[in-house]
Structure 1
Amino acid sequence: MRRVSRLAVAGAATASLALALSACGGTSTESGSSSDGDKGLAIAYDVGGKGDQSFNDAAYAGLEQAKKEFRYETADIEPTEGETDADKAQRLASLAKQGYNPVIGVGYAYAPAVQEVAAKYPGTTFGIVDDSQVQAENVAGLVFSEEQASYLAGVAAAKSTESDVVGFVGGVDIPLIHKFQAGFEQGVKDTDPKVEVLAQYLTQTAEEGGFSSPDKGKTAAEGQIEKKADVVYAAAGLSGQGVIEAAAANKVWAIGVDSDQYRQEALAQYKDSILTSATKDVAKAVYHLAKSVEDGKPETGIVRGDLKTGEVGLADSNPKFAGDAELQEAIEAAKEKIISGEIEVKSS
């Protein structure tokens, strides 16, 4: 059963969600068969929005799972061009006011908005993906040990390269993406010290399009491929599609991120060039937060997914990757050492 505070808030909802949020981003709502009209999970997307085949789409998959299981109304909200922290706060407040619970900001950029709005709606559970700095009794920071999955991606790259040059393309030059680079480089060097890692960031800020510009990703990957990189790992959101496209065009390997990009329909024409993907199970984290609220025991504080919990890892959808016994043995050995603590993966 839901908490009484949730029902009270939900019962007070009156205005249309679409009207309430018309000034701060596109909205999609879906109703299940909940007889009491209660509202459930709502997510507000990061830059790139739904359809990025990566981070945001993984959050949507978690929402869809919750909607199917709990049969309640959900909402997912698109970002707007050049939006401010105030815009994000208005979006979250509108969702909370109308009774959605939990309300999740997808991405670290929601931190100021979550901090502000959570204080105004103490009866609502808020979540923020990829941030652990927001301190409040009703907030869950859904974070991941991305460096661990990236280490395994580095092992895969070092074992797969024929040129002894591999590439890393980061979307935005921020600490979160530094974790991906650090883990990847450590995995490469621990596996084969002679392999060179070329690293490049697309932009200094998200507002410049580092996570939402496939053309920037494609250009960066092409530059690394010209320097003989034959495996390129992208941690760049929607921009990573451009990296994958460049890899396919030049017949080299790409390593995807966040979701299993080999299985993404929008990338089907390039899938034979996607060696693997360093995954983090944003869908599971989103679903579990929704379930905790549904069960009346909301998750709060830092909620971390790592190799040990199975919430980060490497996808094995590509048969060439899954069928390479030597490669799989090396990855499994590295995984066991990370979980046991024998290998401590750097995050910067």
Structure 2
Amino acid sequence: MSKKAVALMLVLLLVGMMFAGCAQKEEPAPAAPEATTEEPTAPEATTETPEPAEPMVMGMITDTGGLGDQSFNDSAWLGLEKVEQDFGIERQVLESQSADDYMPNLVSFAEEQVNLIYGVGFLFDESMKTVADKFPDQKFAIIDSSGLEKDNVAEIVFAENEGSFLVGVIAGLKTETNVIGFIGGMKFPLIEKFEYGFKAGVKSVNPDAEVIVNYADSFEDSAKGKEIALVQHQAGADVIFHAAGGVGAGLIEAAKEEGFWAIGVDQDQSHLAPENVLCSMMKRVDVGVYKVAQSVIDGTFESGTIVFDAKNDGVGYSDLAGNLTDDLKAAADKYLEAIKAGTFAVPATEAEFDAFVAPAL
């Protein structure tokens, strides 16, 4: 083949390759995603909010002394106030005008299904037994009574004789006339515990002193309390102790008017007459109320008897007005420690008092 023919073939081959390349179509580049100005959609908010848990409700039913007695009922109410502050419960009260109100008041709270119902005082015994049986799922507490033997009733009791012994020591050392008075509310074994414990304390430090005893047959008649106090003072009593609820307000009024010493009870009563209330026998009803309420809140409620005595500071004495000398406090504290140690037993009944021998400390 001539050189011209070879050259011609090469030219034709190159031209064919160029046409073949031009015939191939180019694929378009992938399109970019369209831009958007919309924000990502958030999950749809709900308008429903959880209902807050309703607070526990605890109800207290007073005895006939009612709120404002500056003593027993007020101390119990103070205990519930502290429960309200510490745990956010709601507290309610029904005041009893007479013993006939105990049963309907208990039933009223039980039908409302409050979380805990208190009956303030041993006079609730029979009514509480009946209502506790009728409402077996309802929790109750009774103050100053034991032996109900109900699975849904907590029984809060105190060693009143021990606390009364201590103020008896103070009265026996303080008197200048060797005549001392005691005013009880109603003559029941519970109030007699105050009487005989007090008389034992006086006897331990001043066996020559006479203790005049009268009962008012009431826990709310302050006028009767004043009348009895004035009679005792006229008989020579210069220190008078009461265990009579609202009746004691009359005693303190008489002490303020006539210038003798009164001894308060249940809670510190010196604010009623700071210059005439020598001291007060502390019966920590507020602590008992608080303890049982706390057991309901934390789910450890138990029926049966809970005793508050000198050993667990359930009873004692107070002197917020500062009327006790150091010697008087030292004497009372010496006997307090002996009671806590079990060195001697404080009488609670007449028979125990008659057999009582003052300890040599």
State the TM-score, normalizing by the size of structure 1: 0.84
Distance 1:232 1:115 in 2: 36
Q: Distance in 2 between matches of 1:67 and 1:299?
A: 21
Aligned to 2:327: 326
Partner AA of 1:336 in structure 2: E
Q: Which residue of 1 aligns with 2:34?
A: none
Structure 1 residue 41, shift from structure 2 partner: 1.4
**1:230 is matched with which residue?**
238
The residue type equivalent to 2:233 in the other structure is I
Match of 2:292 in 1: 289
User: Displacement, 1:38?
Assistant: 4.3
1:74–1:100 CA contact under 8 A, matched in 2: no
Q: Name the residue aligned to 2:280.
A: 277
Q: Would you say the 8 A contact 2:55–2:88 is kept in 1?
A: no
1:299 to 2:302 alignment: yes
For 1:41, give the aligned amino acid. Answer: M
Q: Provide the rounded CA distance (Å) in 1 between the counterparts of 2:64 and 2:152.
A: 25
How far apart, CA to CA, are the structure 2 residues paired with 1:150 and 1:312? 9
Matches within 5 A, 1:151-300: 151-203=165-217, 210-263=218-271, 267=272, 270-300=273-303
Moved >4 Å (runs of 4+): none
In the TM superposition, residue 223 of structure 1 has moved relative to its aligned partner by: 0.6
Separation in structure 1 between the aligned mates of residue 108 and residue 64 of structure 2, nearest angstrom: 19
1:45 alignment partner in structure 2: 62
C-alpha deviation, 1:102, in angstroms: 1.1
For structure 1, which runs of at least 5 residues remain unmatched after alignment?
A: 1-33, 204-209
Counterpart-to-counterpart distance in 2, 1:297 and 1:117: 22
Deviations 1:117-176 (A, max 9, x none): 112222221100000121111111110000000000100001110111110011111111
SS in 2 for 1:271: coil
Deviation at 1:92, TM superposition (A): 1.1
Name the SS of the counterpart of 1:149 in structure 2.
helix
Say whether the 8 Å CA contact 1:277–1:314 is kept in structure 2.
Answer: yes
Partners in 2 of 1:146 and 1:83 — Cα distance? 23
| Distance in 2 separating the partners of 1:35 and 1:165 | 61
Corresponding residue SS for 2:185: strand
Gaps of 5+ in 2: 1-50, 350-361
- Please give the TM-score of this superposition, normalised by the length of structure 2: 0.81
Return the match for 2:317 from 314, 319, 338.
314
> Which residues of 2 match residues 122-133 of structure 1 at below 5 A?
122-133=136-147
Question: Cα RMSD over matched residues?
Answer: 1.3
Q: Is 1:57 equivalent to 2:58 in the alignment?
A: no
Aligned to 1:310, the other structure's residue is in SS state coil
* Separation of aligned partners in 2, 1:320 and 1:258: 18
Secondary structure of the structure 2 residue equivalent to 1:153 = helix
CA distance in 1 between counterparts of 2:312 and 2:281 reads: 15
* Larger Rg belongs to: 2
1:340 CA drift (Å): 1.3
* 1:21 match: none
